[in-house]
């Protein structure tokens, strides 16, 4: 049997503690599967006294993650600290410089420095694994990087943030407001005290940047992603979408276009009968459109200690099964030096169907004027209706406003925005318009 694989784990939060426990409980099982013993020999955490419900007594403690990363007693450095700079970045770089394989669950680190770290790992003949960085327990990285190697990917998209999916699910199911759903998500621990990173789409954007690089062989380009969150979604939007046969989901979407690669994160209307529309609560899902396999959808727990630790343990097991001297697979599917510069598609050239909700003054000729402005931009409307739910009728009579719902055929975002600007200049709008893309 090969020599034991010795791990240094930096970060003993929910995921780190779960990982140490799982590796202990599955010790014999993993030894049989991997052909060698896997053992945690050293750890690093800010608070040594915190109760973690795992036995850490036999492990060497470090207060400095960089010192742990350089420790000659470890073979693999497991980074579970988080953050795109500081100790997380410095310790991963130190580990690769010291000849250690690296496993990380850090999406922010990879979104900012993934190309650089992959280059360093490959130059030093090391493995950089990060299955847990995207969609928790769903094996999406390995699927795209290995199982779908023969496929040319045209599009990858999915629900990549459980907090947003939980909020949108409850808004539809119970008819309650975004603010009330967010408060409940915070109470249950699904959302942070400051939920901005999740609800405004930035968490999804980090994960999408990683998937885009693997799907299309480009350098990681998180700053080139168009990002909208869900904080402006109202129960009226949810109900109108439902009435039209759609659900609203926050999607991360990357796809090839004639002008480059689109990377976009935004609320999206998806048909009831689509697989992605059936994903509820905190569950994640990723869909891949390949030229050979067609569309493949993977769903499962996107966060949580055990789900994320499961993915980390899988990455560690892959390293345990490897042997010195073999050629390791590139971190992003293609050698880092061969990753193409990212060429961003023009977001406003994005073509598709759109849902538009506008609140306008209730007066003669408004609907005709709105339709004319749409026609002037060559926008074909699938439907245009005055949409006033019964429970809003009394308010409508008092404020002399009405809601118009429009669904377009395929058009461009630029055309939609031009038309809405003209409608605003005509003095018809009572409040800012709502525009949601439709994904089929």
Q: Residue 128 is part of a domain; what is its CATH number?
A: 3.40.50.720
CA–CA distance, 163 with 318 (Å, rounded to integer)? 30
Q: Which helix (H) or strand (E) holds 37?
A: none
Q: Say if 165 falls within a structural domain.
A: yes
Q: Do 128 and 235 share a domain, yes or no? A: no
Other CB atoms within a 10 A radius of the CB of residue 64 amount to: 14
CATH number for the domain harbouring residue 354? 3.30.70.260
Q: Of 440, 369, 172, nearest to 281 (Cα)? A: 172
**Quick one: 270 and 214 in the same domain?**
yes
Are 263 and 197 found together in one domain? yes
255 strand-pairing partners: 155, 262
Structurally, the chain folds into a number of domains equal to 3
Q: What is the pLDDT along the chain (440 residues), one digit of tens a residue?
A: 789 999 999 999 999 999 999 999 999 999 999 999 999 999 999 888 888 889 898 999 999 999 999 999 999 999 999 999 999 999 999 999 999 999 999 999 999 999 999 999 999 999 999 999 999 999 999 999 999 999 999 999 999 999 999 999 999 999 999 999 999 999 988 888 999 999 999 999 999 999 999 999 999 999 999 999 999 999 999 999 999 999 999 999 999 888 889 999 999 999 999 999 999 999 999 999 999 999 999 999 988 899 999 999 999 999 999 987 778 889 999 999 999 999 888 766 678 999 999 999 998 999 999 999 999 999 999 998 886 654 555 444 546 889 999 999 999 999 999 999 999 999 999 999 999 999 87
CA–CA dist 136, 307 (Å, integer): 6
DSSP H or E segment with residue 206: helix 202-216
Inside any domain, residue 119: yes
Confirm whether 344 is domain-assigned.
Answer: no
What pLDDT is stored for residue 351 in this prediction? 81
Considering the domain boundaries, does residue 326 fall inside one?
yes
Q: Which of 301, 330, 360 is the last residue of a domain?
A: 301
Asked whether residue 98 falls in the same domain as residue 238, the answer is no
The Cα–Cα gap between 5 and 36 comes to 7
* Domain co-membership, 156 together with 27: no
Domain membership of residue 387 as a residue range:
349-438
pTM of the model: 0.93
Q: With CA atoms as reference, report the closest residue to 285 among 316, 249, 309.
A: 249
CB 71 within 8 A of CB 62: yes
Q: Give every CB contact of residue 105 below 8 A, 6+ residues apart in sequence.
A: 15, 79, 80, 130, 132, 133, 308, 311, 312
Do 115 and 202 belong together in one domain? no
Indicate the pairing of strand 246-257 with strand 260-271: antiparallel
Which of the listed residues 338, 363, 397 is the one where a domain comes to its end? 338
Same domain, 115 and 175: no
Question: What one-character-per-residue DSSP string does 252-310 give?
Answer: EEEEEETTEEEEEEEEEEEETTSGGGG--TTEEEEEEEETTTEEEEEEEE-SSHHHHHH
**pLDDT (0 to 100) of residue 52:** 86
CA 342 from centroid of its chain's CA atoms: 19
Do 206 and 66 share a structural domain?
Answer: no
> Is 219 an active-site residue?
no
Q: Which of 100, 107, 120, 207 is catalytic?
A: 207
Within a domain: 393 = yes
The reply to whether 296 falls in a domain is yes
Do 207 and 292 belong together in one domain? Answer: yes
Give the H or E element holding residue 8: strand 5-10
pLDDT value, residue 388: 61
Q: Are residues 269 and 154 in the same domain?
A: yes
In this structure, are 286 and 238 located in the same domain? yes
Torsions phi, psi of 198, nearest 5?
Answer: -80, -60
Whole-number pLDDT of residue 398: 47
156 with 291, same domain? yes
Q: What is the CATH number of the domain that holds 209?
A: 3.30.360.10
Question: Of 105, 41, 45, 109, nearest to 75 (Cα)?
Answer: 41
Tell whether 343 is covered by a domain. no
Q: At 356, list the tokens.
A: 């538009």
pLDDT at 68: 98
- 33 three-state secondary structure: helix
Q: Which two tokens stand for residue 123?
A: 């130059």
Please tell me the predicted confidence (pLDDT) of residue 59.
Answer: 95
For 349, residues 6+ apart whose C-beta sits below 8 A from its C-beta are: 257, 259, 412, 413, 414
Burial of 219 (0-12, 13-18, 19+ CB in 10 A): middle
**pLDDT value of residue 399:** 63
């Amino acid at each position: 049997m090969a020599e034991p694989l010795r791990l240094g784990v930096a970060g003993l939060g929910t995921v780190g503690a779960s990982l140490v426990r799982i590796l202990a409980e599955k010790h014999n099982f993993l030894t049989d599967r991997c052909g060698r013993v896997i053992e945690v020999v050293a750890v690093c955490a800010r608070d040594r006294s915190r109760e973690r419900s795992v036995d850490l007594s036999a492990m060497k403690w470090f207060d400095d993650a960089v010192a742990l990363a350089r420790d000659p007693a470890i073979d693999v450095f497991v980074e579970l600290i988080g953050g795109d700079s500081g100790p997380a970045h410095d310790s991963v770089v130190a580990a690769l410089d010291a000849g250690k394989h690296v496993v990380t669950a850090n999406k922010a680190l990879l979104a900012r420095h993934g190309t650089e770290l992959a280059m360093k790992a490959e130059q030093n003949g090391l493995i950089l694994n990060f299955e847990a960085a995207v969609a928790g327990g769903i094996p999406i990285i390995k699927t795209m990087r290995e199982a779908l190697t023969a496929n040319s990917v045209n599009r990858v998209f999915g629900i990549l943030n459980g907090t947003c999916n939980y909020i949108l699910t409850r808004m539809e199911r119970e008819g309650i407001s975004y603010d009330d759903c967010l408060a409940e998500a915070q109470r249950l621990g699904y959302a942070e005290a400051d939920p901005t990173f999740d609800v405004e789409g930035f968490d999804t954007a980090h994960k999408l940047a990683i998937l885009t690089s693997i799907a299309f062989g480009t350098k990681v380009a998180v700053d080139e992603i168009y990002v909208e969150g869900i904080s402006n979604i109202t129960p009226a939007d949810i109900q109108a979408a439902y009435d039209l046969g759609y659900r609203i989901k926050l999607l991360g979407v990357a796809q090839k276009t004639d002008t480059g690669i689109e990377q976009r994160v935004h609320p999206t209307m998806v048909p009831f009968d689509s697989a992605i529309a059936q994903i509820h609560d905190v569950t994640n899902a990723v869909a891949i459109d390949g030229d050979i396999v067609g569309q493949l959808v993977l769903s499962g727990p996107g966060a949580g200690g055990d789900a994320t630790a499961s993915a980390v343990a899988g990455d560690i097991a892959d390293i345990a099964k490897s042997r010195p001297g073999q050629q390791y697979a590139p971190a992003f599917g293609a050698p880092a030096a061969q990753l193409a510069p990212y060429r961003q598609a023009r977001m406003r050239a994005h073509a598709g169907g759109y849902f538009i909700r506008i609140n306008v003054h209730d007066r003669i000729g408004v609907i005709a004027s709105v339709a004319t402005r749409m026609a002037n931009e060559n926008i074909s409307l699938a439907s245009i209706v005055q949409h006033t739910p019964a429970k809003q009728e009394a308010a409508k009579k008092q404020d002399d406003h009405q809601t118009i719902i429009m669904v377009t055929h395929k058009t461009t975002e630029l055309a939609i925005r031009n038309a809405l600007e003209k409608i605003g200049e005509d003095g018809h709008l009572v409040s800012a318009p709502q525009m949601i893309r439709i994904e089929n």
